[in-house]
Amino acid sequence: MCLVAWCWQPVAAVPLIVAANRDESWDRPTLPLQCWRLDDGSAVLSGRDARAGGAWLAWGEYGRLAMLTNVRAWPPEPAAPRSRGQLVVGWLRRSAHGQDWRTWLRAHPADAYNGCNLVLADLRRGLWVWLTNRDPAGHDPDALAERHEGWWGRMLPAGVHALSNAALDTPWPKALALAHAVRTAASEPDAAGREATLLASLRGYEPGPDPVQHLQRSPWVWWPERRYGTRSSLVAQLDRAGTLQVAEWTYDPALGPSGAPSAEVRRSSIAWCGMPTSS
């Protein structure tokens, strides 16, 4: 996943809003949004990487959530021993429930994975943590990241945050645009209006001759020379009763930007978690 923004307001009418685009190689086999189970029986709601078995944004049992983006590197890094998508599902395993996130990190050495950002959340406890295994010096706008088990990271307050392929809240134009859309959506009175606002932002397309500028400016990515781009968009909303509504739009990337409006959509609504009264 290469772009995600979210709003966590635990006492609001809509405590959680998430909007995300997943950018990936056109040839990477992928399973769409669905309910499935880990090998320990834990229930998961997410899309799934059909090659390595992990995920990039997934909901687990009892209010647990994990989100992942790659940290861009050029030239590309050689393959690391472990798939980054396994970090997402690892946080959702029952063995991780109730475990302090610092303790959990000990089983996930930073140098075992290619560069990534990882957001771990436990909504029942009001816990949000951002982690990265690449030094964010010069990129972390708040300069608050600390080292934990070889990772840099910090606790996150309630509010709006955005993440792409650099450190948390790095002001890339597409991250700023999606964060603004999330703030706007949070004030919308109905779920359909929130979804429309967020999807319009996720499908924003800004072509350009420079791939680096395109990747930083355009929420919807299309890079046909490398057979790479936005494969899916997702909007999720959680109400006060603990019901999570998730919609995922999957695209045929070879069609380019003109194919986005005809994407296939899948929707899920699940009773996810009881909400705390404060962050």
Name the residue ranges covered by the structural domains of the chain: 3-271
Percentage helix, strand, coil, to 5, in the chain? 25, 35, 40
Kindly give the residue spans of alpha helices, DSSP state H, lying in the chain: 85-92, 101-105, 173-186, 191-202, 211-217
Ramachandran angles phi, psi of 27, nearest 5°: -95, 0
Q: What letter represents residue 222's amino acid? A: W
Q: What is the pLDDT along the chain (279 residues), one digit of tens a residue?
A: 799 999 999 999 999 999 999 999 999 999 999 999 999 999 999 999 999 999 999 999 999 999 999 998 878 888 999 999 999 999 999 999 988 999 999 999 999 999 999 999 999 999 999 999 998 876 555 555 788 889 999 999 999 999 999 999 999 999 999 999 999 999 999 999 999 999 999 999 999 889 999 999 999 999 999 999 999 999 999 999 999 999 999 999 889 888 888 889 999 999 997 655 433
Q: How far is it, in rounded angstroms, from Cα 238 to Cα 55?
A: 20
Q: Is 84 helix (H, G, I), strand (E, B) or coil?
A: coil
**Rounded (10°) angle between helices 191-202 and 173-186:** 170
**Inter-residue contact 144 to 91 (CB < 8 Å):** no
Q: How far is it, in rounded angstroms, from Cα 36 to Cα 86?
A: 15
> Residues 6 or more apart from 241 whose CB is under 8 A from it?
271
Q: How far is it, in rounded angstroms, from Cα 121 to Cα 91?
A: 9
What spatial distance separates the first Cα and last Cα of the chain, rounded to whole Å?
Answer: 26
Q: How far is it, in rounded angstroms, from Cα 194 to Cα 196?
A: 6
Please tell me the class of the 3-271 domain.
alpha beta
